[in-house]
Structure 1
Amino acid sequence: MEFIAKTGDLEKLTSACLVVAVGEKGQLSAAATAIDKLAGGLISRVLKAGDIKGKYGQSLMLHGLTGIKAERVLLVGTQQCDKAIKQADFIKVARATAAAIKQAGCKDATLALLGQAVDGADDYWKARQLLQATGESNYQFNQLKSEKGPKTLPLRKVTVLTENRSQTGQAKRAAEHAQAIVSGIHTARDLGNLPGNICTPSYLATRAKNLAKKNPKLSCKVLDEKQMKALGMHSLLSVSAGSAEGAKLITMEYKGGKKGDRPIVLLGKGITFDSGGISLKPGAGMDEMKFDMCGAASVMGAMTTLCEMGLPINVVGMIASAENMPGPSATKPGDVITSMSGKTIEVLNTDAEGRLVLCDALTYAERFKPAAVVDIATLTGACIVALGHHISGLISNNDALADKLTAAGISAADQAWRLPMNDDYQKQLDSNFADIANIGGPGAGTITAGCFLARFAEKFDWAHLDIAGTAWHSGAKKGASGRPVALLSQFLLDSAA
């Protein structure tokens, strides 16, 4: 799909679908007013008849309007197109617009919505949200079906129409960034949606190598179990011990900045299937544990976006990948293992495995002398209890880093909420038999998981994103969401700036 920003006359515009805004009390945006005059007042009559009320996200498709070349005109409600609306409401408008375009099967669309004022948002933000929503909506995963139907959806081009040339610069930059971010989100969704018998640790390693082959600024290194054992990564290897699939530690180095600049490290949990190990999960819904590598998928997505944007920054993308199975050699509850850092860990629950792969990867990350490390993981069901499926959890040992990630999430409409971390929670991880236990009891599960990881991140600024509630959807819309690629991409954009 191609994203474009341009200015032009509405009556001369050739498009399969032209989108304009209408308000709740019969108000018309400037673009809608112009179309209304060209079409002999048709839009005004439709509003007066009550066919569309103009509320946020309502839409109505009109066909065959006279006086214009566009095949269709999509009316989208913004409730008050003569006043500024909230950012959250504009995002509703963007997503409703995207859904209506997809349902109509348009081959291209032109969005004349930049005239809508939005609190605290410029034309760049508005254009990016419109294009990103349309791009995300234009996604399908059917490559594993015997009867695939159309290989691709019909939408090929989306244009943001600027009202004047002064808007065009911001809109063009938004189009470039949205194109790259959508590419990253689709990459993450594809990886997340693949089943565990295809998307193994070895498969993730191959995908990372292929990405590096396409990008001269990117290199890839993969450690196998023999190499990890030599480094003392017994915590990570304890997770793959029961599986026939070997664990992999994947490192992608992007060198877009100056040679001496310290890199940002993005570290993703890549448990390609999580049975729970000996602490076996319930059977119902266990198929969704193929999504336990969505942290890794988001790192692959963010690295894809980074390469497409070509940011002047150094970034290391790491993936700690394993399969957690209850085989004859599997780690048992009560086992004590030694991490790469030298700290010993009592494994009280083998289903708390994500932190066991991440802790060794965090120690390995020290060699890059990072400016900051952000790990991303579908880590705890407790995060869903705390924050539901709307907002990701955030824990950090550095206020400035936490603030940057929070701000990036707000800007990207991919929010995270910071949770506390202090010594009172750390005490829950005390063990009678090792330096630390891998779980902290039933209370504050998300926080104690973060506290566990913090013990292995004492040598650098570090943040942890728990995406257990946001990485995928269940039910009729089951599938990976691609989050938090947008947040991570915005964080990298801000860091590069």
Structure 2
Amino acid sequence: MEFNVKSGNPEKQRSACVVVGVFESRKLSAMGEQLDTVSEGYLSNILRRGDLEGKLGQALLLHNVPNTLSDRVLLIGCGKERDFGDKQYRKVVAKTITTLNDTGSMEAVCFLSELNVKGRDTRWKVRQAVETAQDTLYTFEEFKSKTDSTRRPLRRLTFNVTTRKELTLGEKAIEEGIAISKGAHKARDWANLPPNVANPTYLAEQAKLLAMENEQIDCEILDESELKEMGMGAFVAVSQGSDTPAKMIILKYNGTDIEQKPIVLVGKGITFDTGGISLKPGDRMDEMKYDMGGAASVYGAFIAATEMKLPINLIAVIAAAENMPSGKAARPGDIVTSLSGKTIEILNTDAEGRLVLCDALTYVERFEPEVVIDVATLTGACIVALGSHASGLMSNHNPLAHDLLNAGELCGDRAWRLPLWDEYQEQLESNFADLANLGGKGGGAITAGCFLSHFTKKYHWAHLDIAGTAWLSGKQKGATGRPVPLLTQYLMSRSEN
């Protein structure tokens, strides 16, 4: 889809549709009032009859509005003006996109970008509109023999800004929104793929292709035999039950002085999680293809950052494996030695994500990172704690935690911080090894983070548990692309400092 930005009057737009907002109760936005004046009260007369109250998400499509050059005018309900904030703005943009796409308006000029959103500037409004539009139109139909294609889909959307001085800002926002959307879509595609396609070998091949297409990106793949030889006993314990060998994927992007320490993103890439010998229940086990959501989001954020050519050095590490039960699989009670030298008693083979991550987190020490952020669909306990609204955040460095929380608030992909107190560490004690891979029922998301913290002593580190945010179930079943926006916003903010 094509996006543009311009500055002009609504009545002078030669377009298939012009979009303006209406607040409760039937209060036209500034651009709506301008259209109403030009059309000699046409809009206000319709509103007075009760066709649209202005409630959030309402829509009314008008044809042949007098004294205008546009074929249609779309009125979008924005709710109460005093309550109009980030969430409401995204909702009205999404409603606009679905309405335009369903009614044959193949292009439109949108004046919602001029609405006042508290604390947000033009750059934020245009970028969020682009991301919301792309997210709304996303589909995954690669494996359908017949697709429900829209006959006259929306192809071009132009955002209006108040002054010509803001055109450059708007164009920059469009570039950013397109890059972030591209990364989020790639993350959704990866996660939505069936597990018989998106296995560790497939992920490695995709990473190689990405590096071939961009001379600023280097790619290195470590095979399972190499992982074993290096001493990654925890990682290999997860993958050894599968016929598909594990891969560690390392992508490097150098966008600034090579002397600058890199930011490292580590993604859990369990391409299918049966639970291993500690087998999961059959109900909704198909959704365990999403257990590589951390890897998908790290890959997506990496793509977004390289598309924007951010002036940072960035490394993405993906720990890819399949957790399967077999005669070769790890058992509850096994003790393995991690790359760090710490021994781990495996109490439950379904607590496998922390096993691949702990070796990956030790491995990245060699990069002497500025910060390390790992992303994982790690625990069902995080869903119990936070639902699907926020990712769980744990960190050993307060400034890093604050930066991530602020990035999430800014882009609408929020996280909530959980503690890493010493009291929780006691739950990981083992009679037979240095650590157990399970801390019991209480505080499961936190004890998982505590486990990972044992392997992150040498750098500033944050952990994002995205078990509740990476995908949706039910009728809307599918990957969300989160937390690509959060990670990318963090990288953008770091690059601007």
1:319 counterpart residue number: 318
Following superposition, the deviation at residue 71 of structure 1 comes to 2.6
Residue 33 of structure 1 deviates from its aligned partner by: 1.5
Q: How does 1:78-89 map to 2 (within 5 A)?
A: 78-81=78-81, 85-89=84-88
Q: Are the aligned partners of 1:102 and 1:137 in contact in 2 as well (CA < 8 Å)? A: no
Specify the alignment match of 2:217 in structure 1. 218
Whether the aligned pair in 2 keeps the contact of 1:27 and 1:80 (CA below 8 Å) is no
Which residue identity lines up with residue 448 of structure 1 in the other structure? T
For 1:374, what is the secondary structure of its paired residue? Answer: strand
Q: CA deviation at 1:62?
A: 1.9
Q: Which residue of 2 aligns with 1:69?
A: 69
Alignment of 1:427 onto 2:426: yes
Please give the alpha-carbon distance, in whole angstroms, between the structure 2 residues aligned to 1:413 and 1:294: 18
Q: Which moved more, 1:129-138 or 1:167-176?
A: 167-176
- 1:365-424 CA-to-partner distances (Å, cap 9, x unmatched) read 111110000011000000110000111100000000000000000001000000011110
Q: Which residue of 1 aligns with 2:330?
A: 331
| 1:263 counterpart = 2:227 | no
- Read off the aligned partner of 2:325 and give its amino acid letter: P
C-alpha displacement of 1:298: 0.4
After superposition, what is the alpha-carbon deviation per residue over 1:159-201, rounded to whole angstroms, capped at 9, x for unaligned? 1111211322322221110010111111111111000000000
Letter of the 2:278 partner, please give it. S
Secondary structure, counterpart of 2:28 in structure 1: coil
Using a 3 Å threshold, how does the CA distance of structure 1 residues 84 and 480 change in structure 2: closer, same or farther?
closer
Q: State the Cα distance separating 1:208 from its structure 2 match.
A: 0.9
Cα offset for 1:217?
1.1
Query: Over residues 319-357 of structure 1, what are the superposed CA-to-partner deviations in whole Å (9 max), with x where a residue is unaligned?
Result: 000000001100000000000010000000000000000
Q: Which piece of structure 1 moves more, 415-424 or 167-176?
A: 167-176
Using the alignment, how far apart are the partners of 1:69 and 1:183 within structure 2?
34
Give the aligned partner of residue 142 of structure 2. 143
Distance 1:422 1:322 in 2: 30
How many angstroms apart in 2 are the aligned matches of 1:413 and 1:402?
16
Q: Which moved more, 1:33-42 or 1:13-22?
A: 33-42
With the length of structure 1 as denominator, give the TM-score of the two structures. 0.97
Matching residue of 1:437: 436
Q: Deviations over 1:129-163 (max 9, x none)?
A: 11211111111111101113439982222211112
Moved more, 224-233 or 405-414: 224-233
* 2:127 paired with 1:128: yes
What secondary structure, in the 3-state scheme, does the structure 2 residue paired with 1:79 have? coil
Structure 1: 5+ residue stretches without partners: none
- Aligned CA distance change for structure 1 residues 106 and 270 (closer, same or farther; 3 Å): farther
CA contact (8 A) 2:114 2:160 kept: no
Alignment of 1:198 onto 2:185: no
Is structure 2 residue 14 aligned with structure 1 residue 14?
yes
| 2:173 aligned partner | 174
Say yes or no: does 1:32 pair with 2:41. no
Cα shift at 1:46: 2.1
**Percent identity, aligned pairs only?**
51
Q: Contact 1:224 / 1:246 at 8 angstroms: preserved in 2?
A: yes
- Residue 415 of structure 1 aligns with which residue? 414
1:7 Cα deviation from its structure 2 partner? 1.2
Rounded Cα–Cα distance in structure 2 between residues aligned with 1:289 and 1:12: 52
3-state SS in 1 of match to 2:448: helix
Q: 1:152 to 1:139 in 2, by over 3 A?
A: farther
Inter-partner Cα distance in structure 2 for 1:153 and 1:104: 8
**Residues of 2 paired with 1:337 and 1:53: CA distance?**
64
Q: 1:446 deviation in Å?
A: 0.3
In structure 1, what is the Cα distance between the partners aligned to 2:241 and 2:380?
A: 23
CA distance in 2, matches of 1:255, 1:152: 43
| Contact 1:225/1:247 (<8 A) preserved | yes
When the two structures are superposed, what TM-score results if normalisation uses the length of structure 2?
A: 0.97
Residues 138 and 153, structure 1, Cα contact 8 Å, conserved in 2: no
Task: Give the stretch that moved more between structures: 373-382 or 65-74.
Answer: 65-74
Secondary structure of the residue that 1:174 maps to in structure 2?
helix
Match of 2:348 in 1: 349
**How many angstroms apart in 2 are the aligned matches of 1:265 and 1:105?**
44
| Structure 2, unaligned runs of 5 or more | none
